[in-house]
Structure 1
Amino acid sequence: MHAVIVSNGFPPSKSLLEEEFKAADLLLGADGGGRTILNHGFKPDAVVGDLDSFDAPETPAFKVVHRPDQETNDLEKALTYALEQGVETCTVLGAFGHRMDHSLKNMSVLNKFHSSFDELIFRDEEFDAVLIEDTFSARLPVGNIVSLFPVSGEVTGIQTEGLMYALNNESLETGVRDGTSNETISDEFSIRIEAGALVIFFER
């Protein structure tokens, strides 16, 4: 089962949401993300969160799941709900933007939940973000931007193929060295790491 979750960051365009909605078994709003779905003329299957950013209609035509605990943010609540429904792959729109602290928190959420899904992608109009702890490869046009961010502090044993600035069994570390604005030099690139958690942003 595949879910699309709309979070409350920079809202996706109607065309991106429509494209993702076509492939979804479940469309979820993470609190204020539900308002984005409705504003684009779609109906979510459920809106999940503490509901401080979403005014539910008196008689909603969709499920409203109120989860008031303050130990998790609304995206975490929506991802947990998706897992409860048997979702195996998930694309999150609107995970970044509006507030810097929320964007950083959602990087932590990606780290927390990526192993719970067969595939978890954070997507906007230009980039996808995925987290890896072993290997990753993708086919992209030559010249596409690829950025690497070590979210576990230090990531070691990084080996890349198909990128302009190659890493050969090297390390990246938060606050020391990262891999911003690399780019593809062939139509496929791959990354292997030995230890740590690495977020890869790549141009769609």
Structure 2
Amino acid sequence: MTMQSNRALLFVNGEPPKRYPNNIDKYAFIAATDGAYHNYLYTSSIIPNYIIGDLDSLDKSRSLPRGTEIIHTPDQNKTDFEKAILFLANKGVKKFDIYGASGHASDHFLGNLSVAMHYYHRLDFTFYDNYCRFFFSKKQQTIYDVKNHIISFIPLSKVTNVTVTGVKYPLINATLTLRGLTSLRNKAIMDFVEISFKNGDLLVFIENKSTQD
């Protein structure tokens, strides 16, 4: 697979991944926040191009891989996750595959979602953890190769005129809200699922088959 010049692999300091991406050669950049590198990435065979953050979690006694550049970003008004996004976006990255954004401290997970909400209209984020992958849906989107996967549609704001087909419990022109209707633990019954909606912020979770009951 050829490298995509606008795609980056980013590790942040949540629950360490049990599995890493199979093909890292497709990424133009690999980066880690300093906490992610210190806590788990250094034990893997993946060598990041950049370690980014305020460096408060970096173990200075541990030698760093040759060629890895340390990007010190001390601004306390932004999280290391946001700093990493902005640094890589400044290098032309538009698509991010992100590991370690969830798990461990729930406030960090919600904080990471808050950051992603701020940028996802112009940047493409796909998050991976040990249980699922998740992302913000576009207003018109088709998801492929998901048959028999558990799939959930979670509104982070009021999402209007939602239609979802290819699932066990389809939605037709529905309105989703956190205090009202959601579509939790639906199931894909087709190889592809089609999503459309008019307004709002819709988060889609696709569970790994290995974690299903």
Distance 1:190 1:171 in 2: 16
Alignment of 1:88-103 (within 5 A): 88-103=94-109
Matched, 1:189 2:193: yes
Partner of 1:137: 142
Is this contact kept in 2: 1:28–1:46, CA < 8 A?
yes
* CA deviation profile, 1:66-95 (whole Å, cap 9, x unmatched): 111122111111111110111122100011
Q: Could you tell me which residue of structure 2 aligns to residue 178 of structure 1?
A: 182
Could you state the TM-score of these two structures normalised by the residue count of structure 2?
A: 0.87
Structure 1 portions without partners, runs of 5+: none
Q: What is the aligned partner in structure 1 of residue 113 from structure 2? A: 107
The C-alpha deviation readout for 1:10-50, integer Å capped at 9, x for no partner, is 1113x424x15232221100221123221113221111111
Give the one of 26, 31, 38 matched to 1:28.
31
Aligned 1:1-204 pairs, distance under 5 A? 1=5, 2-13=7-18, 15-17=19-21, 19-35=22-38, 36-56=40-60, 60=64, 61=66, 62-117=68-123, 119-151=124-156, 153-204=157-208
CA contact (8 A) 1:28 1:48 kept: yes
The AA in structure 2 aligned to 1:112 is: H
Taking the aligned partners of 1:128 and 1:28, their CA distance within structure 2 comes to 19
1:132, 1:72 → 2: CA distance? Answer: 25
SS of corresponding position for 2:198: coil
Structure 1 Cα separation of the partners of residues 24 and 60 of structure 2: 21
Deviation at 1:112, TM superposition (A): 1.5
> Structure 1: how far apart are the matches of 2:158 and 2:199?
8
* Percent of aligned pairs with the same amino acid: 27
Where 1:34 maps in the other structure, the secondary structure is helix
Q: Deviations over 1:107-135 (max 9, x none)?
A: 11221222232x32111234211112411
For the 8 Å contact 1:133–1:196, the answer to whether it is kept is no
* CA distance in 1 between partners of 2:34 and 2:80 (Å): 6
Query: Unaligned 5+ residue runs, structure 2?
Result: 209-213
Secondary structure of the residue aligned to 1:16 is: coil
